[in-house]
Amino acid sequence: MAQLNSAETVEALAAELGESVYIDVAKWHLYLRDAHLHTFLAEQLLPLLGNGDLTEGQVTDVLKAIPVKLGGGKREVPLADLLPMQVQVQLMDILEEFQRKL
């Protein structure tokens, strides 16, 4: 794969995240590409993949640091609070597989 910080690498990771990772709101699944969060999340997570020691705690910290505006900005909720546990597990699997491809 291309350099870690290349636009192509960010786009590839963003595409995988956008198709597989979703926010659960009242049992509705809003995929990250539809919420326009997939590219930003990929940019935040990509540096973690370069060091070789990806941990669940690091990923959780990134998810907690990304505010998602609800109700037209009346309230902000960390992205970590909107992802079901099985989706967070799937996210780790995606990142570990992507890291292997690098």
Q: Rounded CA gap, 96 and 84, in Å? A: 19
pTM to 2 decimal places: 0.92
pLDDT band of residue 2 (cuts 50, 70, 90) is very low
Q: Does residue 1 fall inside a structural domain?
A: no
Residue 93 forms part of a structural domain: yes
Q: What is the pLDDT of residues 16-66, one digit of tens each?
A: 999 999 999 999 999 999 999 999 999 999 999 987 789 999 999 999 999
Range of the domain at 22: 7-101
61, part of any domain: yes
70 part of a folded domain: yes
**Within a domain: 40:** yes
* Residue where the block lists tokens 């960390």: 78
Number of domains in the chain: 1
Q: 72-87 pLDDT, tens per residue? A: 999 999 999 999 999 9
Cα 39 to its chain centre, rounded Å, is 8
Is 90 contained in some domain?
yes
Q: Give a yes or no: residue 34 inside a domain.
A: yes
